[in-house]
Amino acid sequence: MNRFLKFGVVASTLCVAQGHVMAKGADILLVTSPELEASWSAYVKWKGEVMGKPTKVMTTAQIEEAYDGVDLQEKIRVCVREHIDKMGTQWVVLGGDSEPNGGGVVPDRDTVHETRWGKNSDIATDIYYLSATSWDADGDGIYGEFKDDKEAISYPDGSVGIGRIPVRTAEEVKAYTEKVVAYESVYPKDGFRDRIVFTCTVPSAYAKVVRSWDDHISNALPAEARYQYFLDAKHWDEEAGKYALIPKNWVSMFNAKRYGKVHLHGHGLHGCWVLDGHKQFTKDHVEQLGNKGAYPVITTVSCFTGHFDSAEDPCISESMLRAPSAGAIAIVAPCREGKPHFMNPKIDFPLMVKEGKMDGTTSTMAFFWELGIGGKLSTGEALMKSKASMSEKAKQSAMYHMCLSEINLLGDPTIAVHPKLSDQ
């Protein structure tokens, strides 16, 4: 029986009893709420019995009772570290959405950052859960302060992948699980995997977007794999201006099922990507997608497009991930502005425009693709190794510290960036 059919229709009948597929020493630790625990059963079975990655589920209620800490987030961090350090866990899945002030299915850790962009007091930082330290050196209950908490801030070393699947209901868990099963069993074999599309609606960013390809991603993909659609440099075909970077053309891009990898560089808001002429690609456009079975991995620097912890739900990344049989499978996105971060802004900003010097945010995305494709890594591993490569800069620069803190992986951290088609 086809693996997708076998596991995609029996979610309601599977068991997640402790000690079965959730044995001690599981490769994957999945943290979710008591209310959603049973709905993850199909995901757990698929990962353990088909993909060979035994998965352990722990609910926030179990963690609350079993671990010590000043709040639930600290207890989750201690739980995660125990599984990594003592049980060999390789991936951490935060199985649920977050809401402001520690609410939601799996709350995020809000961190505080003061940079040249101003002060941000609620940057949702999921890498906190991988940390061996508390991010609160001075014990004031304010986490991630670059100066006051420096001694208690540690960054990913790249050995463990983490990601958040920002679902809220059992129906959303089921829909996303079916997309994961499809991604890992019936992945398109017509070149979908080997094509990456770059879109850029900001002319001043052209140089660094091109640099990200030339210096990094091209090391992992051949030149013919890149399709580049810039606002006024090259459009959707050779006849410049015939097609614009507007929502209906993005719908067509996804529905064509040609691109397994997408990088979106431009403006954004919580509920949309902002395209040519300030036109917005919103949840309404997501509902027009028909790319069943061909779900891309996406990176984006667009502001607020990864704002999964907002009181207003969903953000555009969540819309793409939750869409049943459509949308995306994983998205790397900033939870707030996603602005350029540099060690020496006064010197580096002009170089960014003139020569394409890459800032921290662009580097994060470029390294994600280069490492993920070239190193045959999962999405979670690729992003954590990308952050690990910039950890020394983050220790020296408040801007890089914020960069590593505000960019999260939304989606399954265990799936391959570049699937092995021969194994399917």
CATH number of the domain that 244 lies in?
3.40.50.1460
Measuring CA to CA, which residue among 164, 368, 337 is closest to residue 267? 337
pLDDT of 200 strictly over 70: yes
What mean pLDDT value characterizes the chain? 90
pLDDT category of residue 3 using cuts at 50, 70 and 90: very low
Residue 85 CB burial class (10 angstroms; 0-12, 13-18, ≥19)? exposed
Q: How many helices (H) and strands (E) does the chain have?
A: 14, 17
User: Cα separation of 28 and 25, whole Å?
Assistant: 9
- Least confidently predicted of 97-101, 203-207, 325-329: 203-207
**Most trustworthy range by pLDDT among 44-58, 108-122, 197-211:** 44-58
The count of structural domains within the chain is 1
What is the span of the domain harbouring residue 322?
188-423
pLDDT of 158 strictly over 50: yes
pLDDT at 384: 98
- Is 138 inside any structural domain? no
- Is 277 inside any structural domain? yes
The per-residue pLDDT for range 105-122, each reduced to its tens digit, is: 999 999 999 988 889 999
pLDDT at 24: 56
- Is 225 inside any structural domain? yes
**How far is the CA of 366 from the CAs of 53, 348, 358, 418, in angstroms?**
28, 18, 9, 15
pLDDT of 136 strictly over 90: yes
Q: Whose structure tokens read 């456009």? A: 285
- Is 229 inside any structural domain? yes
Phi, psi dihedrals of residue 103, rounded to the nearest 5°: -95, 180
- Is 51 inside any structural domain? no
pLDDT category of residue 219 using cuts at 50, 70 and 90: very high
pLDDT category of residue 4 using cuts at 50, 70 and 90: very low
Question: Which token pair is 30?
Answer: 């999945």
The per-residue pLDDT for range 264-283, each reduced to its tens digit, is: 999 999 999 999 889 999 99
pLDDT at 206: 87
Whether residue 296 has a cis bond before it, omega within 30° of 0: no
pLDDT category of residue 243 using cuts at 50, 70 and 90: low
Question: Which token pair is 328?
Answer: 């995306």
- Is 388 inside any structural domain? yes
Measuring CA to CA, which residue among 325, 328, 254 is closest to residue 295? 328
Measuring CA to CA, which residue among 305, 360, 312 is closest to residue 333? 305
- Is 64 inside any structural domain? no
109 vs 1, residue with greater confidence: 109
- Is 280 inside any structural domain? yes
199 vs 27, residue with greater confidence: 27
